[in-house]
Structure formats: C-alpha cells, structure tokens
Structure 1
Amino acid sequence: MNRHRIPHALLLAVLGAVALVGCKKKEEPAPVASTPPAATTPTPAPAPMPATATVTSVDLGNAVGADMKIGTPMTSFAPKDTIYVSIGTSTSDPAASVPGKLGVKWTHVDSNQTVNEESRDLNLTGMGNTEFHIAKPDGWPKGKYKVEVSLDGNVVQSREFEVK
C-alpha cells in the first residue's frame, strides 16, 4: 500500500500545481500608447509684404524732357539757369501703386539758407521719374548749393552743385 501512496501524492502535487497555474490571472498586455496623429492645420501663408517705393536716382540739369528725365546731367549752372532735379523711383511690385511723399529741399550751402522746400503726395507705380525745379529770373547768387531728396519725410539722397 505504500507503493500507491507516493505516486498518488505525486499526482496530487502535479494536479495542484496545474490548478494554481490555471487559476493565475492572466496579465493584460500593456496598452500601446497610440497617440492619434497630430491634427495638421495648414499654416497660414505669411501676409504678403506691402509694396514699397525707393528712390533709385537723382540727376540735376538745366532742362528736362517729356519723360521727366535730365538729358544732360550737370553739377555747374549759370546764375540765370532754371535748375531741375529728376528723381527716379521704383516700386518693389511693378504693378502696385504705392502712396508716398516725395520732397526736395534746396539749400545755398555758403550761407546755410534754404532756397526752396517742396513736397508732393504721389502714387508711385513701377519705374518712374518726378521733377522739381527752381528758377530765379534775376539770377542765383554764385556759390555752392545742395538739394536733399526725401521720401516719406526721410532724406534718401542729396546732390551738391555750384552756380558760377
């Protein structure tokens, strides 16, 4: 009878172990952290930069053509000359109309006196030229002069000239 007890006890031990393993709670696999794809909202295009105007050239002469350009640039004038300044402008977008204030200040350098100051409100488009001029029928005093060109109140270029 002893012989049957060991295998019987062994059988009970094996069955008990199987029962324990069978009763063990199964572990749930850890949920995979799935992040939903980020919502892609289209990035708004940057607002277009407004068109700008610049002064591209400043020429002096004693005559101006129908295109508002100086035919023969000069830096020396006779006392009874009408003195013209032709201001070349351009806009960053050739099709855009850019409002701007173009101005000139004429100065007799030797006496540090303003001869004339003038400005115009303009709508600049593409490439263009604007002229200003000064005249004195009884003649300009001899000496050194300067014209300062401003765009929207800021001096952007200047030219010196002489009356002989």
Structure 2
Amino acid sequence: MKLSFRSSALCTATVAGLLVLTACGKKEEQQNNAPAAASTAPAAPAAAPAATTPAAAGTAAAAATPAAPAPATQPATAPAAPAAAADTLKVGSVTLGSAVGSDKKVSKEKTTFSPSEKTIYASVATEGTTAGATLNAKWTYQDGETTTTVSDISQSISTDGPAVTTFKIQNPNEWPEGKYKVTISLNGQAVGNEAFEIKKK
C-alpha cells in the first residue's frame, strides 16, 4: 500500500508539474503575442510650411495667371492720295491742208487737193486736260464700193489745256483721184471725221 501511494503521489506531482509548465509556456506566449502598448507621448507636430513672402506670392500669381494680351496695334492709315484729275479731253475740230505752221496748225484750210501734192495734213484741235490719251487718224480712199486704208497712225498726248496734234499722209507719186476721208478717234472711240477729194484742176 505504501508503494502504491508513493507511485500515485509521484505521478500526480509529475502531472501537476507538467500542467504548471504548460501554463507558464502559454502565459509567456500570450505576453509575446500581445500588441505593443501604444505610446502615450504626443506626436511631434509636423513642420509648418515655410511662410511665403509677398514677393514670392506675387511671382507665383503672375506665373499662374496668363498675361493679358496686348491690345492689337491698329495699322496707321496712310493719307489718301489725291485723286487724279479726271480726263476731260475733247476733240474740237479737224482741219485739212497742204502745209502747217510752227504752231502745228494748218496754215491754209482746204478740202480739195491736186494729185501732185505730196503731203496732206490734218490738224486736230483738242480742249480740256488729260494725263495721257491716244489720238488716232485713219486715212481711207473710197474707190467705188471699195474702201482702202491709206494710213492708220496713233499719237499719245498729255495736256492741261487746248492743244493741237498734227497727222499727215505722204505719197512720192501722184495721188489717185477720188474721194478720201480721215477719221479721228480718241482712246479708240471715233470722235470726228473730215472728207476731202483729190482731183486735177
């Protein structure tokens, strides 16, 4: 009986020791797994942003805001050029003859010429002004139903008042007898004509 009791007591003591050790291991494990205690010390305040000086703020604002576009410069208006004087040139008269003076005017007007007269003139008197115009003289010969152009010549003129322009036709031989006409045009428009005749006296 004594031996049995001792053995039971020993076993009991052994089991109790194991339980104590197990309990101790769990306690240590719980202590190790426990979350770390939160620090009660207040967190250090975050560093305050550096104060922006007025100059820097002004620069930042200028960079952020696009500059207003400069007002468009209106092109300087050139003074209007004075209007050119309108042409007022008009043909006044057409005079025929066989000679002209230094003033370009026919010295003796006539409408009948002999076949032997080598040169026949037409003085064209104009009135008004022009910066540049073209006078034309077309000389023709009428032979029955046929009209033949003897000469067709133009002259440019520029004048600010009355002027005389002279045209002529020449023939080293005798002129055929018959009816002739000179037609005067101003800038392509017929403005007058003068008929004449060549015949033997």
Q: Could you say what the CA RMSD is over the residues aligned between the two structures, in angstroms?
A: 1.6
Q: Equivalent residues in 2 for 1:61-140 (5 A)?
A: 61-81=97-117, 82-91=119-128, 96-110=129-143, 111-140=146-175
Contact 1:80 1:135 in 2 (8 A): no
Displacement of 1:98 in angstroms is 2.8
Distance 1:134 1:128 in 2: 21
Larger Rg over CA atoms: 2
- Counterpart-to-counterpart distance in 1, 2:107 and 2:175: 22
Tell me the CA shift for residue 97 of structure 1: 4.3
Which protein, 1 or 2, shows the higher relative CO under an 8 Å CA cutoff with sep ≥ 6? 1
**Structure 2 spans left out of the alignment, 5+ residues:** 1-82
Give the TM-score normalised by structure 1: 0.66
CA contact (8 A) 1:52 1:98 kept: no
1:56 maps to what in 2?
92
Q: Which moved more, 1:140-149 or 1:123-132?
A: 123-132
Are the equivalent residues in 2 in contact too, given 1:102–1:151 (CA < 8 A)?
A: yes
1:90 Cα deviation from its structure 2 partner:
1.1
Runs (4+) of structure 1 exceeding 4 A deviation are none
**Bigger proportion of residues as strand:** 1
Equivalent pair of 1:53/1:98 in contact (CA under 8 Å): no
The aligned amino acid for 1:148 is T
Hey, which of these two has a bigger chunk of helix by percent?
Answer: 2
SS of corresponding position for 1:112: strand
1:72 CA displacement: 1.2
% same residue: 41
The corresponding residue for 1:155 is: 190
